[in-house]
Amino acid sequence: MRQPIIICLLAMTLTFFTARPVRAQAAPAQEKPAATELETVKDRFSYALGLNLGRQFQQQGLDINPAVVARGIAAILEGTEPELTEEDIQAVVRAYEQEQAAKREQAAKKNKEDGEAYLTANAKKDGVKTTRTGLQYLVLKEGTGKSPTTDSEVVVHYRGKFIDGKVFDQSYEGDAPTADEEPISFGVTQVISGWTEGLQLMKAGAKYRFFIPSGIAYGPMGRPGIPPNSTLVFDVELMKVVN
């Protein structure tokens, strides 16, 4: 599934550097000392460009060696002979994808097993309820307002964790939201199905903890920052039901 994306990203990166009329001249016998890091506009722009490329690589979940990436970029910009031919590049992309696919498959299997074991144990805890879809929830605070429907827009504060307790997303930083931390708003059907179901169980003013099986979260594909078949835990405070 991801190979075309990787190839496109690689091609885009290489095109960015090769499509420009950059013909490196032979280095002079004596070069001036390099400018202090990030002291010049050129250095700051170079660093900014590196940050942007790094974000793209990170969003794709690429397992790479940044120093070797820089070496490849330098080979193009400095006009030195690349260490890989075009055929080599295609072959290594295929090999990388095969290696990563095997790792994702192993991770997906383990995540599924760990998630099922976690939910089985969690279902036995006091106060935890399980719906027919497998969604589990715990009422932390009941609300008194109206419940949303699939046509509603809601305003919420939330914190998302993996089953090991690691936070992967949140709308606030501390133990509880502060006045200057804005909640988020969205349509009830614009989120994963575990949220869509869980929100409709709540009333405005309530705070619930959702334990969401991977099948009603991001499933075997996962998403950037969320591994495949991850069971997710969300603390959700329903601030307002807009309609």
Q: Kindly list the catalytic residues.
A: 158, 168-169, 192, 218, 234
3-class DSSP assignment, residue 7: helix
Provide the sign of the torsion angle of the four alpha carbons 225, 230, 235, 240, taken in this order.
Answer: positive
DSSP run (H or E) holding 160: strand 153-162
Helix ranges, the chain (H): 3-18, 41-59, 66-77, 86-122, 193-199
